[in-house]
Structure 1
Amino acid sequence: MTQTDDALSIAESVLLAPANLHTPQLASLLNGKLTGQADYADIYFQHSRHEAWVLEDGIVRDASFNTERGAGVRIVQGDKT
């Protein structure tokens, strides 16, 4: 398995599957946008998790956990993005 295959596998399981999206759907979207209208297109994925704890004298005073997920599409045609 190549590094690209591994990254795609992670994106599929962490970002696409929970949103009920599949790779062929994304390929179809990009192919449709590329047909005669664009030179290049790509999809960016984001997944981040943040956790914070505030302790005072060994006692938890505050805690938070945040997860962000998203994707963006970039289409390039000539010098336009």
Structure 2
Amino acid sequence: MELLNLAKQTILAPYGIQDRDIEKIMSCLLSSPVDAADIYFQSSHSESWVMEGGIIKEGNHSIEQGAGVRAVAGEKTGFAYSDRIELPVLLAAANNVKAIVRQGQEAQVNLT
């Protein structure tokens, strides 16, 4: 349970996402006939430094984050991803995923 709380504190809480919001997104995904559905949250922090002759010449810091929503119905899979972890964006992603699975077409939707 400790890792779950850490994930909630570092990925969800800064954006006001709570358990009931996750349930709302999942309910949206599961409101149409699907075999499986999931939500994936990611957060990655990286740092790099370049030293030459004992002197720091270059430094980089990067933060990548976002969420993916997926639904599977038979052989059809709908997937949407956003860099923005916000409830309205994730609900829109869930609706787009449902439409992809329902229509069975391939499409790419930019949410950011």
Q: Normalising by structure 1, report the TM-score.
A: 0.81
The alignment's C-alpha RMSD in Å is 1.5
Which of 53, 56, 63 is 2:52 aligned to? 56
Q: Secondary structure at the match of 2:37?
A: strand
Which structure is higher in RCO with an 8 Å CA cutoff and minimum separation 6? Answer: 1
Which of 32, 37, 44 is 2:40 aligned to? 44
Which 5+ residue runs of structure 2 have no aligned equivalent? 78-112
Larger radius of gyration: 1
CA positional deviation for 1:27: 1.1
Identity, % of aligned positions: 39
Which 5+ residue runs of structure 1 have no aligned equivalent? none
Q: How many residues align?
A: 77
Runs of 4+ in 1 over 3 A off after TM superposition: none
Q: Secondary structure at the match of 2:20?
A: helix
Query: Residues of 2 paired with 1:7 and 1:42: CA distance?
Result: 19
Deviations 1:18-49 (A, max 9, x none): 11111211111111221242221111121111
Q: Secondary structure at the match of 1:54?
A: strand
